[in-house]
Amino acid sequence: MTTLVQQMERRAQQIDRMQSEFIKLTQFATELQMYIGLKEIEKTTSQAAKYITDLESANHFNERNLDVNISSALTLILQDVKSFGEINIKITPSTLRLKAERKEQAQYLVPIFPGIDKIKPSLMKRLTITDNIKSLNIWACFVLSDGNFIMFDYNKNRLLLFSIEGLFMREVVSFSEIPLDACLVRNDTVAVALGSSNQTALVNIEQNKITKMIKLLQDCDAVASDGQTLVISGMVKSTKVNLNDMSHTILEGVRASRIAIFKENIYGTIYYENKVFCYTSTGEPLWTFQHHGINLPQGLTLDANGFVYIASRGNNNIVVVSPDGKTSKTILSEADGIKNPYAIDINRESGMMIVSIEIRKNSDSAVVYKI
């Protein structure tokens, strides 16, 4: 009996640990980490459930009541009494009610996402490039919270604002340095990576001015933000900037030509290696993906479900990679008007995707899709 109690106590401690781990998973883990963690929890809970079921099947939970009948002949103990009485063990069925969950139910804790085959973007509009803009070389573009669009024009080192209808509104700011990438930080703030100057600028798009310059000890080739953190990458290493206190963390193993952030994980492309990769927020590799359908990958972005969208410039495709980095699908091609795509972005709240395309020699535009 003592052994059984000790075993049950150990199982209880194990359950307490799993509950604590589950709470941490729901607070901090990505979907992929959540899935892997829950598979381990499911395995452990299944073993515990089997242990409890086996105990019940073996009647270990049956109650054992001891009844003692005292002999009335105790006064004759020295004569002919051979016992003090009788001990009867009565076994009654256990009142314990076990509710063993089905094995599959652990999976329901993980959000169920639509399959990659169901991703089918629908065309909404194409931005209007007026004659006064002339040539436009779009290296970055993204959707603002109000539905307007920001374009980074590499030809003239400037940020341009377009309306929700796709019409040019104004120039936001221009640079004397040579910018290489830009991203949305918050509703009115944009970060611009200034390449070999080892600087990244924070721009207020409402005030049309640079509000801060972040200086690093590396090239600033690409930039991505989730509103709390800014990741600036180069082809040697990357730096993570905490936007609350502006502290820096070096990510030695993370190198990329273009990057994105989703649920704290860092995603990137290396165009000359035809690679797409995923790292944790601390720079630990999670997966790397290569496929013949991805050729000279440039910009990338993620939707609300964690699917990775790649601008595959070398073969005029937009390719989607699954959240686990194992499968891919081409969702747009040259037949859809995709030519030399470079920049891509998705507003995860509205589901609007914008992609830069070449409309004539040395001049780009952008098309907007609903996903």
Is the model more confident about 134 or about 27? 134
- Give the range among 71-80, 151-160, 221-230, 260-269 with minimum mean pLDDT: 71-80
Query: Which residues have C-beta within 8 Å of that of residue 305, sequence separation ≥ 6?
Result: 31, 111, 113, 114, 323
Q: Around Cβ 215, how many Cβ atoms within 10 Å?
A: 11
- Position 29 scores a pLDDT of 66
Question: Span 118-125, mean pLDDT?
Answer: 94
**For residue 356, what is the DSSP state?**
E
144: tokens are: 């603002």
Structural domains in the chain? Answer: 2-109 (no CATH), 116-370 (2.120.10.30)
Residues with Cβ within 8 Å of residue 308, at least 6 apart in sequence: 260, 267, 276, 278, 300, 301, 302, 320, 321, 322, 323, 325
User: Where does the pLDDT of residue 84 fall: very low under 50, low under 70, confident under 90, or very high at 90 and above?
Assistant: low
In this predicted structure, what is the pLDDT of residue 291?
93
The answer on pLDDT for 228 being more than 50 is yes
Exposed / middle / buried, residue 297 (Cβ in 10 Å: 0-12, 13-18, 19+): buried
CB 38 within 8 A of CB 109: yes
Specify the pLDDT at position 15: 75
Please state the pTM of the whole predicted model. Answer: 0.70
With 60 as the cut, is the pLDDT of residue 41 above it? yes
pLDDT for 107 beyond 70:
no
